[in-house]
Amino acid sequence: MKDRIVLAYSGGLDTSVAIGWIADATGAEVVAVAVDVGQGGENMETVRQRALGCGAVEAYVADARDEFADEYCMPTLKANGLYQGHYPLVSAISRPVIVKHLVKAAREFGATTVAHGCTGKGNDQVRFEVGIQTLGPDLKCIAPVRDLALTRDKAIAYAEEKHLPIVTTKKNPYSIDQNVWGRAVETGYLEDIWNAPTKDIYDYTATPEFPPAPDEVTITFVQGVPTALDGVAMSPLQIIQDLNRRAGAQGVGRIDVVEDRLVGIKSREIYEAPGAMALITAHKHLEDITIEREHARFKAGVDRRWSELVYDGQWFSPLKRALDVFIDDSQKYVSGDIRMVLHGGTAVVNGRRSDTSLYDFNLATYDTGDTFDQSNAKGFIDIWGMSSKVASTRDQRVAGE
């Protein structure tokens, strides 16, 4: 029996050509695995049939939309996951769930190797291969574009020569990756970081310059997870999808950033994440009223480190698992409602309520009913500033000698 290789299959030119390319280069049979993480576009059965038409001996499609939303998007939300304060980890969090299904398929179909379509200069090669090594340490990894010199020109020529059932184009200026959490666009015209993005690169968001009427939405959270919009109970997937539509219509969630890739280069990226950015904004505001000050300060550092680990392909690492425990514990009281207005590219919170809030009106008010004992303030200030006062006294004495 021939060796089998499981290929992470997107249905596009490169991975379609990779099926035959891998078979020719290795003599192995190729099993194509497509994972639906809410990327939209083509029907997944069409994608499966294309894989078979391109020479795959088996083609497997996994509907991972709810799994992705529940087990990957929600932990990201609880961690306020933003790499370098900007990027909501759109691609980074989809790779672990894809890896999980690749390894599962390798076991099911008797494959010894897993292949992916990444280049040698991106982050995704690390995310795929570190994940595969962790979940399937006995499995080997190959990357046709990186390891077998599969360039785009070669891919187009191969597809035409073999009459593969896929449309080939000589020029596609952008590299695009998308799922329900957001959309990532890079390369082409965008590689000159002085160039402004053109309107044609956007799909999830409408232009914010000419928005429709403001859209006010109330998001209900239970222990850090959204459970309803405007009082209507929904699953995490449904909430993300609905906010993608509503926030996207207002141009919310457009991000233009130069970020530090894991491989050591800086890369200009354009992201669209209307639902994700609206949810992260709402979640942060709810944390502001339900998490104690020192706890919140420490969590901000944990959130940052969590985001770095996930960006760097360490979803399955021991440290990331340990941080998950802290973050989950921090969400015990993060329940309540956030009201926000979506309009003209912004998501602005204008109302908060929670049965577990730490906000005390009677302590905060300056009007009648104030219960704050202001006589305590002077002694607090004296003690709080004591160490600085002592140090300053020493500095002045030494300077005068």
Beta carbons within 8 Å of 232's beta carbon, 6+ residues apart: none
Task: Note whether 176-291+333-353 and 361-400 share their fold.
Answer: no
Helix (H) or strand (E) holding 185: strand 182-186
**Residue 333 annotated as part of some ligand binding site:** no
Q: Give the tens place of pLDDT for each residue, 196-250.
A: 999 999 999 999 999 999 999 999 999 999 999 999 999 999 999 999 999 999 9
Is 124 one of the annotated active-site residues of the chain?
yes
Beta carbons within 8 Å of 155's beta carbon, 6+ residues apart: 13, 14, 17, 21, 168
Q: Could you give the strand order of the β-sheet that contains 336-343, starting from the edge strand earlier in sequence? A: 232-233, 225-229, 215-222, 336-343, 346-353
Report whether 11 contacts 42 (CB < 8 A).
yes
Topology of domain 4-172, per CATH?
Rossmann fold (3.40.50)
pLDDT of residue 68: 98
Residue spans per domain, the chain: 4-172, 176-291+333-353, 361-400
Catalytic position from the list 14, 36, 303, 312: 14
Q: What is the pLDDT averaged over residues 111-123?
A: 91
CATH superfamily of 176-291+333-353: Argininosuccinate synthetase, chain A, domain 2 (3.90.1260.10)
Beta carbons within 8 Å of 267's beta carbon, 6+ residues apart: 186, 258, 259, 261
Q: Give the tens place of pLDDT for each residue, 309-341.
A: 999 999 999 999 999 999 999 999 999 999 999
Is 215 one of the annotated active-site residues of the chain?
no
Categorize the per-residue pLDDT at 304 as very low, low, confident or very high, splitting at 50, 70 and 90: very high
Residue 87 DSSP label: B
Categorize the per-residue pLDDT at 165 as very low, low, confident or very high, splitting at 50, 70 and 90: confident
Q: What is the pLDDT averaged over residues 30-50?
A: 93
**Residue 376 annotated as part of some ligand binding site:** no
Token pair for 210: 């000419």
Report whether 143 contacts 126 (CB < 8 A).
no
Token pair for 31: 């099993």
Provide the percentage of residues in the chain whose pLDDT is more than 90.
81
**Residue 189 annotated as part of some ligand binding site:** no
Whether residue 353 has pLDDT greater than 80:
yes
Catalytic position from the list 4, 65, 91, 124: 124
**Residue 12 annotated as part of some ligand binding site:** yes
Catalytic position from the list 146, 152, 175, 235: 175
Q: Which of 32-41, 159-168, 303-312 has the lowest mean pLDDT?
A: 159-168
| Alpha helices (H) along 122-235 | 124-135, 144-147, 152-162
**Residue 394 annotated as part of some ligand binding site:** no
Rg, C-alpha atoms of the chain: 25
Tell me the CA distances in angstroms from 93 to 165, 222, 284, one per residue in order: 30, 22, 20
Is 335 one of the annotated active-site residues of the chain?
no
The C-alpha atoms of residue 35 and residue 100 are separated, in whole angstroms, by 10
pLDDT of residue 220: 98
Categorize the per-residue pLDDT at 351 as very low, low, confident or very high, splitting at 50, 70 and 90: very high
Is 95 one of the annotated active-site residues of the chain?
yes
**Residue 324 annotated as part of some ligand binding site:** no
Beta carbons within 8 Å of 261's beta carbon, 6+ residues apart: 121, 122, 123, 267
Closest CA to 75 of 321, 365, 313, 382: 321
**Residue 368 annotated as part of some ligand binding site:** no
Categorize the per-residue pLDDT at 111 as very low, low, confident or very high, splitting at 50, 70 and 90: very high
CATH architecture of the domain formed by 361-400? Up-down Bundle (1.20)
Question: Average pLDDT of the chain?
Answer: 94
pLDDT of residue 172: 62
The C-alpha atoms of residue 291 and residue 332 are separated, in whole angstroms, by 9
pLDDT of residue 153: 81
The C-alpha atoms of residue 65 and residue 47 are separated, in whole angstroms, by 16
Residue 79 DSSP label: T
